[in-house]
Amino acid sequence: MARKKKTGDNNPQHKLKGYIAGAGEVVEERIASTLQENFMPYAMSIILSRAIPEIDGFKPSHRKLLYTMYKMGLLGAARTKSANIVGQTMKLNPHGDAAIYDTMVRLSRGYEALLHPFVDSKGNFGKAYSRDMAWAASRYTEAKLDPICSELFNDIDKDTVDFVDNYDNTLKEPSLLPAAFPSVLVNANTGIAVGMASSICSFNLEEVCRTTIGLLKDPDFDIMSTLIAPDFTGGAQIIYDKAAMESVYKTGRGSIRLRGRYSYDKFANCIDILSIPQTTTCEAIIEKVIDLVKQGKLKEIADIRDETGIDGLKITIDLKRGTNPDKLMQRLYKMTPLEDSFSCNFNVLIAGTPRVLGVRELLNEWSAFRIECVKRRTYYDLHKKQDRLHLLRGLEKILLDIDKAIRIIRHTEEEALVVPNLMEGFGIDEIQAEYVAEIKLRHLNREYILKHTNDISQLEKDIKELEEILASNRKIKAIIIKELENIIKKYSQPRRSMIIYADDIAEDDEEEEIPDYQTNLFFTKEGYFKKITPLSLRMGGEQKLKEGDSISQHIETTNNTDLIFFSDKQQAYKTKAPVFSDTKASVLGEYIPSKLGFDEDENAVYMISTKDYKGFVFFFFENGKAAKVSLDAYATKTNRKKLTGAYSDKDKLAAILFAEDDNSEILLRSSSGRMLLFKASDLMTKTSRTTQGVALMKLKKGHRVISAAIYKEGMLSDPDRYRVKTIPSTGQLPRSDEGGEQITFGNE
């Protein structure tokens, strides 16, 4: 039986219970220490080793995959099976074959997620713009490194970057790749870590390189003169807002508006969408359009289908006769993901620290990283040439007397003494003597030695140049600039994303034309709603209702009207009559809580129809109080559908009434049977929706207000009996001769 170990801290918020494996003992641990010991290392691992890219533009999973392919000899070679690549990568990346293959897919040319893919793929690799177009299994596809990867791995074996142990300390892998161009901005990169995220949009390779060259030459270079805007692999159109773009460039945060490109086929009367925003998929757009058509909001569309094929993305929309394609597209941009925003968050790991950088800072950090790479490469080359020169100087001394060298070797009885004797005989050091001693017998001739010693002058010249490079940042920057210019010549490509200026967009501000016709609105006690035309109402016969339900409101109006539904949870839901389809009396109608997305256990209790938000809403509470609120308190400038705090929650609601003016009279009834008739103008209008109102009806203990109705002639045989001059009032009981009188209250 498990024993409970007491720790002395009885605050349950500070403890976490758990089992020690194998011990069978329940222990209590502090949540703070558990989080620090278990969750914090996980969070740091996600941030530093998984989700956030580094200055070379890669996450660890990308870097491990590409380096494995490089060591497999897949740069400039024939393709190999993807499964082979995945298996080899598992020596560096222990996250499983599926995760590794997914990474390779997103880096591939076939997937079309990157402006400059790093993996040259063959086979079905899916498409970034399609949610349902899945890629084939790794055993069916083939891949190799794309030629641009030569710019990532050039000089990686010249100590340009640090190497670290892999997860089991059996192999070495680079901590960064010595990328010769700012790939961190050239290819899009997104990731979600713990408590932070990264979202870097892609830019055109030539524009990025030109901007980097400009900054290397002049730190105050105007980056917007060469780096115009991002460039997305899907093409689309960038809605250029200078202020927003400057903010993204300066802070590394902001959003960029994108919209799809389309063409109109006059003969087929259809719209062909040829590119979509990077943030969405074909299926999401098609589903949204179909949903809008079903709701009756896009009546101009006859059909929509996905015609994506070998020529690329294509969504075709068939139009009905007489449709203006440009106006329809303006509405589609507003109502569907065909126009979307790309959220920028240039969060990059710099020396192990996540930092959100603007474009200028990011390029400056990359330049500093690349300068360090070039310095390390130059230092490596310098040492190699110095070592070579040192050996050749020893060989040069041998040239003075080859016969002496042969004689020393021949007359040395012990092999171990050959090197010391050569050192003594020619005045050379041990390294030089070892080199001479290892020369093959066939090479101990004047021609061989002269040929090699002739390299001494060239080596001296090269060493001097390398030393001058190391001593001058200006020369190092010149080398980087030359490399960037070569990359532009070899890999540059035209922009894919078209830039359109926000000021040039013809915004269609016209409201959607809503057909306006006479209609009847019905609302039941159970919350069902029907919209029926007069013709259908005349021909429809008896109203179909749920068992036990009854019609509480019937309003004659036109189709172009706003509707407000009040709930029993002090909330109001706004909508428009055209949202509901015309129906018949023979159907139940639409259940308002479901249609408008009411909260759980929330019911609709009253409906108001208005076009100008003029009039007054009266709230009657069971405690005898009443509040009069102007209807314009429920008008909103934005299209908010849900209004909280629609009326007071201090007491239970008895009834709601709406009147277009306050000249009418209202008849109130309590559970005791007393009735009270008063003028609506006697109630003062309140500015706050949640007002408790004023006392209207005095109630005896145990009684409450149960209903209210707008008074109409004929409802009472002697209305003066119930009229009051001052409020609050107890009201009057009906006379004995009025006992059989049927009075209809709208909220009973």
Confidence grade of residue 34 (pLDDT, cut at 50, 70, 90): confident
User: DSSP 3-state assignment of 54?
Assistant: strand
What is the phi-psi region of residue 731: left when phi exceeds 0, alpha when psi lies from -120 to 50, beta otherwise? Answer: left
Q: Which of 179, 198, 224 is the last residue of a domain?
A: 179
Query: Does 704 map to a domain?
Result: yes
36 & 116 share domain: no
Residue 13 has pLDDT above 70, yes or no: no
For residue 424, the one-letter residue type is E
Print the SS3 string covering 582-647.
CCCCCCCCEEHHHHCCCCCCCCEEEEEEECCCCCEEEEEECCCEEEEEEHHHHCCCCCCCEEECCC
User: DSSP 3-state assignment of 555?
Assistant: strand
User: DSSP 3-state assignment of 732?
Assistant: strand
Alpha helices, DSSP H, located in 93-191: 97-106, 150-153, 183-186
Range with lowest mean pLDDT among 119-128, 392-401, 611-620: 392-401
Range with lowest mean pLDDT among 352-361, 445-454, 544-553, 724-733: 445-454
The domain that holds 412 is classified in CATH as: 1.10.268.10
The answer to whether the bond into 728 is cis (omega within 30° of 0) is: yes
pLDDT of amino acid 6: 43
pLDDT of amino acid 19: 43
User: pLDDT averaged over the chain?
Assistant: 88
pLDDT of amino acid 474: 95
Confidence grade of residue 746 (pLDDT, cut at 50, 70, 90): very low
User: DSSP 3-state assignment of 151?
Assistant: helix
Angstrom distance (rounded) from CA 515 to CA 232: 41
Confidence grade of residue 247 (pLDDT, cut at 50, 70, 90): very high
**Residue 97 CA to its chain's centroid (Å):** 26
527 or 38: whose pLDDT is higher? 527
The domain that holds 603 is classified in CATH as: 2.120.10.90
Query: Structurally, how many domains does the chain consist of?
Result: 5
**Mean pLDDT of all residues in 94-110:** 93
Q: How far is CA 569 from CA 486, 552, 598, 601, 633, in A?
A: 69, 19, 10, 9, 18
19 & 65 share domain: no
Q: E strands of 241-362, at which residues?
A: 253-259, 261-265, 270-275, 301-306, 315-319, 339-345, 347-350, 353-356
Is there a contact between 706 and 667 (Cβ–Cβ < 8 Å)? no
Angstrom distance (rounded) from CA 325 to CA 332: 10
Confidence grade of residue 124 (pLDDT, cut at 50, 70, 90): very high
How many other C-beta atoms can be found within 10 angstroms of the C-beta atom of residue 510? 9
pLDDT of amino acid 509: 47
Residue 165 has pLDDT above 90, yes or no: yes
**Mean pLDDT of all residues in 2-12:** 45
Q: How far is CA 28 from CA 35, 331, 588, in A?
A: 14, 60, 58
Q: How far is CA 159 from CA 148, 150, 173, 258, 516, in A?
A: 21, 16, 12, 42, 77
Query: Does 217 map to a domain?
Result: no
Query: Does 744 map to a domain?
Result: no
Percent of the chain with pLDDT over 90: 56
Q: How far is CA 404 from CA 191, 420, 536, in A?
A: 69, 14, 123
Angstrom distance (rounded) from CA 730 to CA 643: 34
Is there a contact between 350 and 55 (Cβ–Cβ < 8 Å)? yes
User: DSSP 3-state assignment of 551?
Assistant: strand
Residue 644 has pLDDT above 80, yes or no: yes
| 70-92 pLDDT per residue, tens | 999 999 889 999 999 999 999 99
Residue 410 has pLDDT above 90, yes or no: no
Greatest alpha-carbon span in the chain: 151
Two structure tokens written together for 82: 């993807």
Angstrom distance (rounded) from CA 700 to CA 177: 85
Q: Which has the closest alpha carbon to 376: 177, 158, 172?
A: 158
What's the pTM? Answer: 0.68
**Mean pLDDT of all residues in 181-205:** 93
Confidence grade of residue 742 (pLDDT, cut at 50, 70, 90): very low
Percent of the chain with pLDDT over 70: 93
Angstrom distance (rounded) from CA 165 to CA 153: 19
Range with lowest mean pLDDT among 461-465, 571-575, 634-638: 634-638
Two structure tokens written together for 261: 């490109």
26 & 162 share domain: no
578 & 554 share domain: yes
Q: Which of 337, 356, 383 is the last residue of a domain?
A: 337
Query: Does 151 map to a domain?
Result: yes
Two structure tokens written together for 221: 């270079």
**Residue 429 CA to its chain's centroid (Å):** 65
Is there a contact between 711 and 665 (Cβ–Cβ < 8 Å)? yes
Containing structural domain, residue 17: 12-46
38 & 62 share domain: no
Q: Which residues contact 194 (CB under 8 A, 6 or more apart)?
A: 42, 43, 46, 47
Q: Which residues of 256-280 are buried (b: 16+ CB within 10 A; e: fewer)?
A: bbbbbbbebeeeebbbbbbbbbbbb
Q: How far is CA 655 from CA 402, 563, 667, 704, 747, in A?
A: 120, 18, 11, 12, 6
User: DSSP 3-state assignment of 689?
Assistant: coil
Angstrom distance (rounded) from CA 342 to CA 515: 36
Two structure tokens written together for 733: 């009981």
Confidence grade of residue 16 (pLDDT, cut at 50, 70, 90): very low
Angstrom distance (rounded) from CA 409 to CA 435: 13
Residue 409 has pLDDT above 70, yes or no: yes
Is there a contact between 653 and 619 (Cβ–Cβ < 8 Å)? yes
**Mean pLDDT of all residues in 253-280:** 93
627 & 647 share domain: yes
pLDDT of amino acid 741: 47
Angstrom distance (rounded) from CA 661 to CA 630: 10
Query: Does 292 map to a domain?
Result: yes
40 & 61 share domain: no
Q: Among this protein's residues, is 262 annotated catalytic? A: no
| 51-65 pLDDT per residue, tens | 899 999 999 999 999
Confidence grade of residue 439 (pLDDT, cut at 50, 70, 90): confident
Query: Does 223 map to a domain?
Result: no
User: DSSP 3-state assignment of 292?
Assistant: helix
Residue whose tokens read 């004689």: 407
Residue 441 has pLDDT above 80, yes or no: no
274 & 162 share domain: no
164 & 135 share domain: yes
pLDDT of amino acid 737: 63
Q: Which of 337, 361, 385 is the last residue of a domain?
A: 337
| 471-503 pLDDT per residue, tens | 999 999 999 999 999 999 999 999 999 999 877
Range with lowest mean pLDDT among 559-573, 587-601, 628-642: 628-642
Residue 387 has pLDDT above 80, yes or no: yes
Query: Does 59 map to a domain?
Result: yes
Angstrom distance (rounded) from CA 676 to CA 706: 12
727 & 588 share domain: yes
Q: Which has the closest alpha carbon to 388: 472, 466, 473?
A: 466
Residue 507 has pLDDT above 90, yes or no: no
What is the DSSP pairing of strand 237-240 with strand 498-501? parallel
**Mean pLDDT of all residues in 612-626:** 91
Query: Does 509 map to a domain?
Result: no
Q: Give me the catalytic one of 140, 167, 501, 517.
A: 140
Confidence grade of residue 5 (pLDDT, cut at 50, 70, 90): very low
Confidence grade of residue 341 (pLDDT, cut at 50, 70, 90): very high
522 & 644 share domain: yes
Angstrom distance (rounded) from CA 686 to CA 648: 12
Beta bridge partners of 530: 522
Residue 303 has pLDDT above 60, yes or no: yes
Q: Which has the closest alpha carbon to 61: 71, 74, 46, 73?
A: 46
**Mean pLDDT of all residues in 330-340:** 93
398 & 325 share domain: no
Rg over CA atoms, the chain: 41
User: DSSP 3-state assignment of 142?
Assistant: strand
Q: How many helices (H) and strands (E) does the chain have?
A: 20, 35
pLDDT of amino acid 687: 80
Residue 744 has pLDDT above 70, yes or no: no
